[in-house]
Structure 1
Amino acid sequence: MTLSDMFVTRSLDEVRFWSRIMKEHSFFLRLGFRAEDTQLIQEANYFYALFENIEQRASSFGTDTDPNTIMQFNNEVHTAVSYIWAFKRKVLGLILTCQLPGQNNFPLLVDHVSREANYFRNRLTELNQGTLEPLPDAIIDENVFFLKIMADHAKFISHLLDPSERKLVDQANDFSHDFDQLLFQAQDLDSMRPQSQTEPLLSQFLDQNRVSVSSLRDFKRTARELIEACRIKSTIHPLLADHVFREASRFLEIIDVFEAALTGKQPAENMRTLEH
């Protein structure tokens, strides 16, 4: 596969995954707004339609698409993501200044979805600029980001379960604690750069994270199945249960790619960004 082919493949993979995530964020935010928040609801509906269109367009492209076409598409998507990021930060500001009393979006959730939007637009910039981050840096940066995402998910699940679901609440709280600790370890490793970037340390780092992410992914799968079967009490929308499951699966896929690169089974160019 040529570098141009890899650029197209990687770009489409990122846009297909994250545009669906952005679309669903719009839906979840809308569910949390009050009936009188008509302007915010209209904006959320606009972004839902916008990213649904982007998702459909991304699915229409093949891996043989001209890289210049994909580069232009990435730029268009980057603009859309910048707008939804600004919308999310605006909503967060309204919540934190008590201008939306009675709405049902946790401030941490709104911050969480804005961080994911920022991650997405940074990925698009990196892809189009062809800036290849060194493998050790990419491993640490991706894990710091996703470990925080996983810790947030556990906290959301804990707070959205009915208090009577004591065992599941306890499990979610345990995951929250575990991922907070993993995040602290990752941040410590980050502060030790470049001395911490030896292959044995990074390999152990990935192995440890893989075990915990796999356990959380399985917990999310079980929760999703129970919610879909109406077997647990919660305010968790079935789509949200599937949403957080897919993000955990995405993190595991990234760990797989990193591990393959460390062992030489896959070229490092597949990690973050590509020259084209």
Structure 2
Amino acid sequence: MSDGFVIRSLEEIRFWSRIMKEHSLFLRLGFRCEDTALINEANQFYSLFENIESRANAFTAGTDPNVIRRFNEEVHAAAAHIWVFKRKVLGLILTCKLPGANNFPLLVDHVSREANYFRNRLAELNLGRLEPLPDAIIDENVFFLRIMADHAKFISHLLDPSERKLVEQANEFSRDFDQLLYQAKDLDSMRPQSQTVPLLDQFLDQNKVSVKSLRDFKKTARDLIEACRIKSIIHPLLADHVFREAEHFLVIINMFENSLTAASPQMKMPH
């Protein structure tokens, strides 16, 4: 169990610390040149999470669990602080105190939700209170389906309007993931009665098909952007960023499918 705790903690921190670092960059790029205090704060968070990412990569599966537990606490504090920063920025945008800046309110809310997810995961790991499999399947999918729907909307709005075919494809993905999210929330509201193996298995299968399609679309868009073959204001790193998050969601879905198969003989029909 101690090895599993260390491995899981390091996997989460390695993935999400890079995401938090890149969020800092994207927010900074969206600020106006006169927003020096916000730019400096974003730069500080970039350095903070770059350091965390580097330290996480230096640890191994054999690291003392107590060392990792303390590291988790430190990273949890960093995630909480960047969450506060992101919510502050969102408040400034929504009260029209950053006119002319280029960060969408939904994007700032989106990155704050990911920071909150990250800090909650670290707290769960340290407490040893990860959700039971049926609850985790629904909750993780509700979270990530919304993330994927947001990504499609951002891509649509950051592509040049003249890229009509790609804009329409992004809009189609947005509609698809909105529908999947509504379905996931319906399954959520029906629990525990909805948490049967057949329903959860079909739920994962359906989501996996759509996430794979979106992942492939993101990969194509990333490659085209990097080759300067399409017109957009999408930073190449942002294109890679959203691609990696889709890949991460697929890893989670595959993990759930394997766990569900292994657990199905023991899982009972909920009362």
Same fold by TM (over 0.5)? yes
Which of these residues, 219, 222, 227, is aligned with residue 220 of structure 2?
A: 222
Can you list the C-alpha shifts for 1:140-161, whole angstroms capped at 9, x where unaligned?
0000000000000000000000
Name 2:195's counterpart in structure 1.
197
Name 2:45's counterpart in structure 1.
47
Name 2:123's counterpart in structure 1.
125
Q: Percent identity?
A: 79
Supply the distance in 1 between the matched residues of 2:23 and 2:257 (Cα, whole angstroms).
30
Supply the distance in 2 between the matched residues of 1:57 and 1:265 (Cα, whole angstroms).
35
Can you list the C-alpha shifts for 1:41-85, whole angstroms capped at 9, x where unaligned?
000000000000000000000100000000000000000000000
Supply the distance in 2 between the matched residues of 1:92 and 1:223 (Cα, whole angstroms).
28
Is 1:67 the counterpart of 2:65 in the alignment? yes
Name 1:169's counterpart in structure 2.
167
Deviation at 1:133, TM superposition (A): 1.1
Deviation at 1:132, TM superposition (A): 2.8
Alignment TM-score, normalising by the size of structure 2:
0.97
Can you list the C-alpha shifts for 1:186-232, whole angstroms capped at 9, x where unaligned?
00000000000000000000000000000000000000000000000
**Partner-residue secondary structure (3-state), 2:262:** coil
Which of these residues, 134, 137, 147, is aligned with residue 136 of structure 1?
A: 134
Structure 1 residue identity aligned to 2:100: G
Deviation at 1:265, TM superposition (A): 8.0
Alignment TM-score, normalising by the size of structure 1:
0.95
Supply the distance in 1 between the matched residues of 2:260 and 2:114 (Cα, whole angstroms).
26
Name 1:272's counterpart in structure 2.
none
Supply the distance in 1 between the matched residues of 2:8 and 2:263 (Cα, whole angstroms).
18
Name 1:114's counterpart in structure 2.
112
Name 1:264's counterpart in structure 2.
262
Supply the distance in 1 between the matched residues of 2:149 and 2:59 (Cα, whole angstroms).
34
Can you list the C-alpha shifts for 1:101-120, whole angstroms capped at 9, x where unaligned?
00000000000000000000
Alignment of 1:5-44 (within 5 A): 5-44=3-42
Supply the distance in 2 between the matched residues of 1:133 and 1:172 (Cα, whole angstroms).
33
Unaligned 5+ residue runs, structure 2?
A: 267-271
Name 1:152's counterpart in structure 2.
150
Unaligned 5+ residue runs, structure 1?
A: 269-276
Name 1:183's counterpart in structure 2.
181
Supply the distance in 1 between the matched residues of 2:68 and 2:106 (Cα, whole angstroms).
33
Structure 2 residue identity aligned to 1:44: A
Structure 2 residue identity aligned to 1:97: T
From the superposition, tell whether residues 177 and 33 of structure 1 become closer, same or farther in structure 2 (CA, over 3 Å).
Answer: same
User: How many positions carry a matched residue from both structures?
Assistant: 265
**Partner-residue secondary structure (3-state), 1:263:** helix
Structure 2 residue identity aligned to 1:239: L
| Larger RCO (alpha carbons 8 Å, 6+ apart) | 1
Supply the distance in 2 between the matched residues of 1:53 and 1:132 (Cα, whole angstroms).
27
Supply the distance in 2 between the matched residues of 1:138 and 1:176 (Cα, whole angstroms).
24
Supply the distance in 2 between the matched residues of 1:191 and 1:243 (Cα, whole angstroms).
31
Which of these residues, 244, 247, 270, is aligned with residue 246 of structure 1?
A: 244
Deviation at 1:183, TM superposition (A): 0.1
**Partner-residue secondary structure (3-state), 1:264:** helix
- Which ranges of 4 or more aligned residues in structure 1 deviate by more than 6 Å? none
Aligned-residue CA RMSD in angstroms?
A: 1.1
